[in-house]
Structure 1
């Protein structure tokens, strides 16, 4: 009798979940896949759907609207005038999705690799006068973490307020002892969706992948670099880690601070009183137009995917992309191929070494069709390339945390800076060309002739493309 009850419960649960899938499914192909999984994989199909399949855009993690509790910036007449430029559609798109208008009073410094980045970060932190905000996907113990702890203690003794967010899964190795040291010196610290059995299925797949530091509300850092000694020392399997970061002084820094404040409210239910920030001393030559774009699984639209899609389609001369995880969905893949087929010089650079075997197979599973459409692919051979950069037409570029995959577009909280500046674009273009000179360029004929076992591995990896 008991098994009849269990079967009845299972069938009712399956039916309710199928109704949910049909009502809130994102794409027909995914909807069909989940319906088949639920009915063909007993129990496991339901668990996989609860863990990986739910549409967060319909069931918001953050219940309160952004504007309702943070008074997000409204574009002034000055900002709206900026929206009339060559990339006005992109600017308006980003503003409607993320609520951040483009800002012009900014000074940018491009920071390549760990040594340069952390020298700049520690210099900025040492000069903090009122507050320091940090949030990282990966915060690992080691020399960098120890240096930060000592610096935090010194700054708090001088009256500086320090708040820190770390991702509960990305920083899973962060020990209780270190967290207690942070609290002991006076750092306010919270995890983002930590691992808890009671909400394991509802939160495990949704991570905060942002890397942000804001000092005194007017100087900020963002990009691909986490707090980890591997950015200084490398690691045994991959060697040196190569990455790009961005230092921003000016108005755009306050928008990164707003993003931190929203995430802070999410993890702590506490509001941050805004600082009265004096305008940074920016010279005429440093008035760089920057727009911050943020995205997460509780937003109405995939803002990072739409921004990338627009940049790709807007390209007329060249489009250079550096990213370790290029696992494009149908829209991004179509945009890349259409742009390349229309005569634009489209080049992708990925790391030859991979930090995950299955992810590596998945990334390479798209190479053949990309090469066939005329996209040039370069494999960077030295260490592990982790940068997330797009630059196009000596006019627009973006640096940030978002990869070209469904995880960054649909499941992670991400942030990028879009820079509308020709000099900065040329700087990134030249860096790409320099790295391409030491990289291996794939040819279509070479790639289609790869062993069938490699094709089989790639096919296996591609099956997991929507959840990697």
Structure 2
């Protein structure tokens, strides 16, 4: 008697999922795949759909209205008037999808690797007078965490408000002892979508991958670097851990702070009055940039559209540094089209990644790149964790987003698009120097003859690419 009841219950649940797919599905091929999974893999298919299949752009996780207030159109236009026409379209796209306009009253400093980045961060933290906002995907116990604790304790004693937001999965190893100590000294903490049974199915696949620090709404930091001692000591298996970060001072920091405030509200259900923060502007026109936040509940595929537009706008060169390039069909076709159109497309990544399955999946796309004339450079001196895209000496993108489905569709990310020829040329020079120290792959015919066992492993991993 029990078995027929369970079967009937599953059929009802499956039919409800079908209705949800028909109402909220975006891509017909993806909708059909989930329908087949639900009806051909009993129970497991339904669980996989709950974990990975629901359309968060239709079923929003939260809504914080009026989070962003675009600048006056005239001021916005003046900030990017030096860009070519096809690049100006990118700034308009970002403004329309994320409500973050170009700001030009900023000072920007490029920070490379952990030592320089954390020296700059701790120097800025010591100057805090009103508030310190931090959010990280990975926040681990160790030397850096202990040093931050010391700074927080001093600053709280000086009546500085300190708020720390950490991801429930990425920072899962953060000890209860450390969190208890934070609360004891008066630091406000919140965990983004905690790893709890009641929210396991709805939250597991949607992580906050951002790395943000905002100090007094005046100085901000963002990029690829987490709070982890491997940025100081290196990794036993991969060696030195290389990454890229930014220090921003000026009006763009207000937009970075608004990203934090929105995430803080989602994690803690406590609203912070955005209007209470003073907007600090650099004294004169400086670096033009846009803060680009994205998440699974945006109305549009903000990050994917932005990267897609940059790739399509390339006329001379497109250089990419990223450890996890697992492109979807649109991004892959854009890269191939750019290369076949005569654009110098180069991809720089580590010779190996920190996750073997991901490494196989990344390599599964090499054949397509090489066939189109894309040059692949494999960096051997440690692990490159930077997420950088450079285009035509006009746009430099630095931030947290990888070129994979997880970053483009599922994670909360933050990228900075910088419109500054001097910075672009400096970063291009650094890129080319790193390429000289790397192993280059250009021979399509040679790569195609790799051992069949590698092809098999890469083909298997490629099947899982939507989940990686």
What secondary structure, in the 3-state scheme, does the structure 1 residue paired with 2:122 have? helix
Q: What residue number does 2:125 align with?
A: 125
Q: Is the contact between residue 137 and residue 211 of structure 1 (CA under 8 Å) also seen in structure 2?
A: yes
Q: Is the contact between residue 251 and residue 279 of structure 2 (CA under 8 Å) also seen in structure 1?
A: no
What secondary structure, in the 3-state scheme, does the structure 2 residue paired with 1:348 have? strand
Deviation at 1:283, TM superposition (A): 5.0
What secondary structure, in the 3-state scheme, does the structure 1 residue paired with 2:465 have? coil
2-structure distance, mates of 1:60, 1:366: 32
Deviation at 1:72, TM superposition (A): 2.8
1-structure distance, mates of 2:452, 2:104: 52
Q: Is the contact between residue 74 and residue 99 of structure 1 (CA under 8 Å) also seen in structure 2?
A: no
Q: What residue number does 2:99 align with?
A: 99
Q: What residue number does 2:307 align with?
A: 308
Deviation at 1:14, TM superposition (A): 1.2
Deviation at 1:363, TM superposition (A): 0.6
What secondary structure, in the 3-state scheme, does the structure 1 residue paired with 2:210 have? coil
With structure 2 as the length reference, what TM-score do the two structures score? Answer: 0.97
Q: Is the contact between residue 128 and residue 215 of structure 2 (CA under 8 Å) also seen in structure 1?
A: yes
Deviation at 1:82, TM superposition (A): 3.5
2-structure distance, mates of 1:330, 1:257: 33
Q: Is the contact between residue 68 and residue 100 of structure 2 (CA under 8 Å) also seen in structure 1?
A: no
Deviation at 1:83, TM superposition (A): 5.3
What secondary structure, in the 3-state scheme, does the structure 2 residue paired with 1:326 have? coil
Q: What residue number does 2:155 align with?
A: 155
Q: What residue number does 1:328 align with?
A: 327
Q: Is the contact between residue 217 and residue 279 of structure 2 (CA under 8 Å) also seen in structure 1?
A: no
Q: Is the contact between residue 217 and residue 275 of structure 1 (CA under 8 Å) also seen in structure 2?
A: no
Q: Is the contact between residue 103 and residue 252 of structure 2 (CA under 8 Å) also seen in structure 1?
A: yes
How many residues are aligned here?
A: 463
2-structure distance, mates of 1:279, 1:37: 52
Structure 1 residues 275 and 312, CA gap change in structure 2 (3 angstroms): same
Q: What residue number does 2:375 align with?
A: 376
Q: What residue number does 1:28 align with?
A: 28
Aligned residue runs from structure 1 range 390-401, under 5 A: 390-401=389-400
Residues 1:78 and 2:79 are matched in the alignment: no
Residues 1:187 and 2:184 are matched in the alignment: no
Aligned residue runs from structure 1 range 59-458, under 5 A: 59-62=59-62, 64-67=63-66, 70=67, 72-82=69-79, 84=81, 85-86=83-84, 87-273=87-273, 274-277=275-278, 279-283=280-284, 287-442=286-441, 443-458=443-458
2-structure distance, mates of 1:217, 1:209: 21
Deviation at 1:26, TM superposition (A): 2.6
Q: Is the contact between residue 98 and residue 293 of structure 1 (CA under 8 Å) also seen in structure 2?
A: yes
Deviation at 1:71, TM superposition (A): 5.2
Q: Is the contact between residue 214 and residue 221 of structure 1 (CA under 8 Å) also seen in structure 2?
A: yes
2-structure distance, mates of 1:44, 1:405: 24
Specify every segment of 5 or more residues in structure 2 that has no aligned partner in the other structure, as ranges: none
With structure 1 as the length reference, what TM-score do the two structures score? Answer: 0.97
What secondary structure, in the 3-state scheme, does the structure 2 residue paired with 1:132 have? strand
Deviation at 1:40, TM superposition (A): 1.3
Q: Is the contact between residue 390 and residue 428 of structure 2 (CA under 8 Å) also seen in structure 1?
A: yes
1-structure distance, mates of 2:88, 2:302: 16
2-structure distance, mates of 1:305, 1:378: 23
Moved more, 25-34 or 120-129: 25-34
Deviation at 1:18, TM superposition (A): 1.8
Specify every segment of 5 or more residues in structure 1 that has no aligned partner in the other structure, as ranges: none
Q: Is the contact between residue 66 and residue 262 of structure 1 (CA under 8 Å) also seen in structure 2?
A: no
Q: Is the contact between residue 209 and residue 414 of structure 1 (CA under 8 Å) also seen in structure 2?
A: yes
Moved more, 185-194 or 442-451: 442-451
Structure 1 residues 123 and 43, CA gap change in structure 2 (3 angstroms): same
Deviation at 1:276, TM superposition (A): 4.7
